[in-house]
Amino acid sequence: MEESDLMESIKTFNNIIVYGAQKKGRATIWRIKANIQGAAIFSAVSAVGDEKYCSNVLIQDIHKLKHLRDTSIVLIAASLKYHDEMEKEAREIGFGNVIRISEPAIRDMEFRHGIFLELADSKLLQYRIINETRLNHLRVKVMHGQSVKVMFIATSPSKFSYASIYRKMSQNPIFKVSIFIFDEIYYSRKYIQGKTNYEKELRASRTFAEKLKCSGYNVASSE
């Protein structure tokens, strides 16, 4: 199961419990936050240790979340060797919906999360200075009646989450709005690094772009 398939399969649940609070759990929660709107996200372990939060989500003993078993899906985000034990425990508590996140999906999420952390650690101050400069530049342009380009970045071939904002901004002649599909660049980068052929994901990204175009959105080219 790829990441896009995983997000599609969990989006209807009110509660999403990520079982595992180490590196794999952190990456999983981060990607869910980026893709799923409206669901409550929980971080669960078998026994709470010194760590209190996982990607800013409070870590809880999975047994204390059993009251959510009828409205939740449990995602096992851990090394493969722990999957049997963790699924058995979750089902014994009463959780009927349990998914073991596949190694390819976990690697994808960890890769993206790693890029995010690298940028956040090394360039946060630089980005803040650059963005403040750009914002001041935009203020001057608007004051003189010039248009402003606004680009929305879509991170996966799924529902475009900012449709209402896009539509509202597109009604104002000041804004020239467009959408950029990040996945095409992401999978191309992985291919260049010698990873597995990601032709399927590239096709999915391009199909998503075509659907957006057919729905009246302005999709920016990645070329």
Q: What is the pLDDT of residues 190-214, one digit of tens each?
A: 655 555 556 677 777 778 888 888 8
Residue 221 has pLDDT above 70, yes or no: no
For 29-45, what is the mean pLDDT?
89
Residue 2 three-state SS: coil
Residue of 17, 20, 70 lying closest to 39 (CA atoms): 17
Position 121 scores a pLDDT of: 63
- Say what the pLDDT of residue 137 is: 78
* DSSP letter assigned to residue 222: -
User: What residues does each domain of the chain span?
Assistant: 3-105, 147-214
The pTM (predicted TM-score) of the whole model is: 0.55
Higher-confidence residue: 144 or 46?
46
Asked if residue 188 has pLDDT above 80, the reply is: no
Q: Which CATH architecture has domain 3-105?
A: 3-Layer(aba) Sandwich (3.40)
The larger pLDDT score, comparing residue 50 to residue 171, is at 171
